[in-house]
Amino acid sequence: MDFTFDESQLAFRDAVRKFLLVEAAPEYLREIWETERGRSDSLRARLADQGLTAISVPEAYGGIGGDDLDWVLIQQELGYFAIPDSLTASAYLAPWLLTQLADEGLKREWLPNIVKGHARIALGHPINPLVADARNAGLLLLAHQDEVHALTPTQVRLHPNPSIDQSRRLCKVEWTPSAATRVCEAARGARLWAGVIDRAGLAIAAQLLGLAQRMLDLGVDHAAQRKQFGKPIGAFQAVKHHLAEVAVAIEFAEPVVHRAAYALARGEAHASIHVSHARLAAGEAAWLAARKSLQVHGAMGYTWEADLQMFMKRAWALDATWGDRAFHKTRIAECLLAEGAALGPGQTFDPGAPRTVEPQRRLAHA
């Protein structure tokens, strides 16, 4: 099976990378995070101009109508540049959930505004005790016994909770479920929330890959610049081995993440297992990158003055979001240990599925 991304997907990824390299420098992000809201409307508007907020919105509502494969490379870039949670929630998870709902009024009100970059939407599920960006959201989509409820900020009570990752704005949300706020019954809502958890898991796995790569790059740069005994510390074999371990972990995790994106986009039966595999592989790579890069930097890597601490803290926080390691290990174990489980090379892919990833030309005009 061909996992090669097509030219339009790679070109879009490259355009986003160039944009973020200029517009999302670490010093600029720190300035934003030190504000009360921790968010920048002007940056969101520029991200919308790049087409990022339109990827998941159907064409009927002014979007591009992309899928999970269109997002996975972009999520790696968002991780590399430590873009906060709100973009993924508002532009990837919320549009997918809204399009699955029967409430046409809710779609007409929010989907076009997502495309324009005007809407901030927070999602809350019991898998996360705290809701990210609830204070900045104009709409909250919350779960109650598998139901989907849509609430405005005036219908909830928020209790802020600090995070080790300063980019995150977390709140405990108190609210009262009612028929007036319910937009999807539990019978169908359970499937929808499962889809949200999988897509959030995929997004986090891809971001962890990007974070791992950024921490590796910072470690390599520092090893090339810092000198001991008259030579760069990167010349010492022990330092090379530390960084090489990280590079290998990233190389092995990346195809696992792309496989999960393919499974979700195709609606494969075991897509959730592929997502959990991706979460674990990417999480291991990110934790290894944080540890090894910190060793290369020394204690200064954890100080506020060093950029490395931004990416380490974000990786640690994200790895426990939308399912911790125990959650994802349990999902994989239940599948592998189930009676009659279809295992082995012949079961890796659906024998009846097409052998190539169809090009996603939708992104050509993003």
pLDDT (tens place) for every residue of the chain, 366 residues total: 566 798 999 999 999 999 999 999 999 999 999 999 999 999 999 999 999 999 999 999 999 999 999 999 999 999 999 999 999 999 999 999 999 999 999 999 999 999 999 999 999 999 999 999 999 999 999 999 999 999 999 999 999 999 999 999 999 999 999 999 999 999 999 999 999 999 999 999 999 999 999 999 999 887 877 656 667 665 566 778 888 999 999 999 999 999 999 999 999 989 999 999 999 999 999 999 999 999 888 877 778 788 999 999 999 999 999 999 999 999 999 988 888 877 777 776 554 444 334 333 344 333
Query: Does the pTM of the predicted model rise above 0.75?
Result: yes
User: Tokens standing for 1?
Assistant: 């099976």
DSSP single-letter state for residue 93: I
Rounded to whole angstroms, how far apart are CA atoms 289 and 217? 10
In this structure, which topology does domain 188-339 adopt according to CATH? Butyryl-CoA Dehydrogenase, subunit A; domain 3 (1.20.140)
Cβ 208 vs Cβ 315: under 8 Å:
yes
Cβ 145 vs Cβ 186: under 8 Å:
yes
Domain ranges of the chain: 188-339
Cβ 142 vs Cβ 171: under 8 Å:
no
Cβ 120 vs Cβ 137: under 8 Å:
yes
Rounded to whole angstroms, how far apart are CA atoms 95 and 311? 27
- In a 13 Å sphere around the CA of 276, the CA atoms on its Cβ side amount to 19
| pLDDT at residue 330 in the model | 96
Rounded to whole angstroms, how far apart are CA atoms 148 and 120? 17
| pLDDT at residue 132 in the model | 96
Q: How many CB atoms lie within 10 A of CB 302?
A: 13
Cβ 8 vs Cβ 53: under 8 Å:
no
Rounded to whole angstroms, how far apart are CA atoms 327 and 110? 32
Rounded to whole angstroms, how far apart are CA atoms 31 and 130? 24
| pLDDT at residue 199 in the model | 98
The torsion region of residue 4 among left (phi > 0), alpha (psi -120 to 50) and beta comes to beta
Amino acid at 366: A
DSSP single-letter state for residue 89: I
Rounded to whole angstroms, how far apart are CA atoms 128 and 311? 21
Cα distances from 40 to residues 121, 308, 343, in angstroms, run 15, 22, 48
User: Helices 186-225 and 308-318: crossing angle, nearest 10°?
Assistant: 150
Helix residue ranges per DSSP H, the chain:
7-23, 26-33, 41-49, 68-80, 85-88, 94-100, 104-116, 186-225, 237-266, 271-297, 308-318, 325-336
Smallest Cα–Cα separation from 88: which of 49, 50, 55, 43? 55
Q: Label the pairing between strands 170-174 and 157-161.
A: antiparallel
Smallest Cα–Cα separation from 289: which of 254, 258, 333? 254
Provide the 3-class DSSP secondary structure of residue 12: helix
Amino acid at 102: A
Rounded to whole angstroms, how far apart are CA atoms 249 and 1? 22
- In a 13 Å sphere around the CA of 116, the CA atoms on its Cβ side amount to 8
Contacts 24+ apart (CB under 8 A), 101-105: 101/148, 101/183, 101/184, 101/192, 102/183, 102/184, 103/150, 103/183
